[in-house]
A and B are shown apart, each in its own frame.
Chain A
Amino acid sequence: MKIHEYQGKQLFAKAGVATPKGIVARTPDEAAAAFTQLGGPIAVVKSQIHAGGRGKGRFKEHPDQPGVKVVKSAEETRDHAKRMLGNTLVTIQTGPEGKQVNTIYVEGGLNIARELYLAVIVDREAGSPVVIMSSEGGVEIEEVAKHSPEKILKEPFHAGYGLQPYQARRLAYQLGLTGPAVASAQSFLPKFCKFFVENDCSMAEVNPLVITAEGELVALDAKVTFDDNAMFRHKDLAELRDLSEEDESEVRAGNTGLSYVKLDGNIGCLVNGAGLAMSTMDLIKLHGGEPANFLDVGGGANVAQVTEAFSIILADKNVKAVLVNIFGGIMKCDTIVTALLSAYDTVGFTVPLVVRLEGTNVEIARKMLADSGRKIIAATDLTDAAQKVVATLKA
């Protein structure tokens, strides 16, 4: 689960991680008042969306307006806020459709001496959380990894004991920090790592992490993602979720216990199991089609879930055909067909439906399909299924 920058910074502040002073605004007047309250002489107006690249991003409605702007007066703050709020910001991470800005964050200026990069993630290979830092602040870390990988520092730490002060100092010296900045890093970094662990983050990124002229480390950005699997024990964090930032059909699927990801193609698919669902997309592509989605109905698919799955798939106007691929294990094929037929009738299919079944009770299930009287195309195996569903688009 992702949260907004301002929410991340509020959580940082609670954890003792230094951030600039900032105020949330939802109207141009609130933004202007925020500038006055912060006291100037400069401030930064920042669009709040769940995507990076905001500084270079531009608004659809105002092609000259950047998503982040330095301002020098309350009036100027109000003007920029007017052009941001309610409008659509397009960045390299939002895709061409962009994202609507509903909230802005007005932040006080800092006397910046240096910009660094900081992130904590869980390193699968090391089996532990790891601090990633680089002297190249404000630059995409992927770019740094590509062009100067030697500038990326990694410091794994123990999830139980946290980042030790000597580890923070090691990072500081490697980054060439001196004087008060080393002391600041020794305080800042362990607190940041503690924040990561205590809140079950899957990623916490600060880009840039600035060192002020006074030698203090301050988080100028906050990109925080939580582990969805751990949200059951963080009810307070779960409340920070902004549904308007998420794909409507993906939210709907999640509420029904389905795993769904929308894609750009025109062949919808309904599959049991994540691995098989991914493979089904691959199979469609191999045979010249384009998958419209990833959809895993899980191991215990019932009538309600299959019905919801079909209606989510068909709500996508691009979908011109649907492929169902089920390998019945403990969940028997005939049980799945019963659910399929019921859902088929409820949803009202208008596009071709190809069904491939294999596994437990497949013979009974195939006969049920054949005798059902519905216009369902039966496939004998995976390849046959892919060929048939792609062929329906050409017919």
Chain B
Amino acid sequence: MAEITMTQALNLAIDEAMAEDDGVFCLGEDVAAKQGGGVFKITSGLTEKYGENRIRATPISETAIIGAAVGAALAGQRPIAEIMLMNFVGVCMDQIVNHAAKLRFMSGGQTPCPIVIRTTTGVGVGFGGQHSDMLEAWFAHVAGMHVVTPSNAADARGLMRSAIDANDPVVFIENILCYGLTSEDPGPGYRVPLGKAAVAKEGTDISLITYGRTVLDALEVAGELEKEGISVEVIDLRTIAPYDEATVLASVNKTGRALTLHEAVRPFGTGAEIAANIQEKCWDKLKGPVRRIGGTFSAVPFATHLEQAWIPQKSDIVNQIKVSVGKA
């Protein structure tokens, strides 16, 4: 079967959802054919098929973009709104948090808000302090929405279809460095359910819980440590919130040790929530403290060596695992 990149996977998922349902449409800055189909080409070729009403290139107006998505969703459509880079959510948090996430609840269930907010980010491409942050914890802290991020192309295709199907807002985070990753194409109609983690690698000594780009680091480290006799189980959350607690707890109950890993800064990150939950629910199975790795607690720096030093280091993942299993 053919291989596809994550870029192609996302494009295919959106394309087939638009073909099946006239209510699905995209809006965002530069997304239409005239502008080249999006800065990362995710909506490339779709204007030609579905027209400019369904691939709406917008002004640089994040509040208006998300507001429009919210309104259209209330009227029964399924908008896919693109916020070009994740830091720009700062411009439209009111629409996302006070409106999209809360309208189902505040209306007593009358007005669900099925929107997908696609957004891109990632450390390691030299974009500096305002174009690189992973801000998933901001949204994970808000009731009424799903937060999703794929670590491979096949999951990207399946998670995007499920995000478009969902009857609630979904923040869909794409990591710039993952767009070129390839998978075997899972084919049309493929879905990965929201709220379901994947055991990316089975292991017995420690559970390494992560998502997005750092799944790649986790798998690489797990492969190396296997040679040293340390068996690491890698959990790819895929849905960050609400996350698959059952899979995480089952893994930790088996291994007795846990390490959380994310690119986002460590303090008050999603890893802290997951670690606290593990300590409450797996206490009698734990052989040691749950440890956390995250990005450095500063703005993402520009100079390449600074940026590389900012990111969670593979050597640190190795060290933390070795400390946890008593082989430091």
Do these two chains interact? no
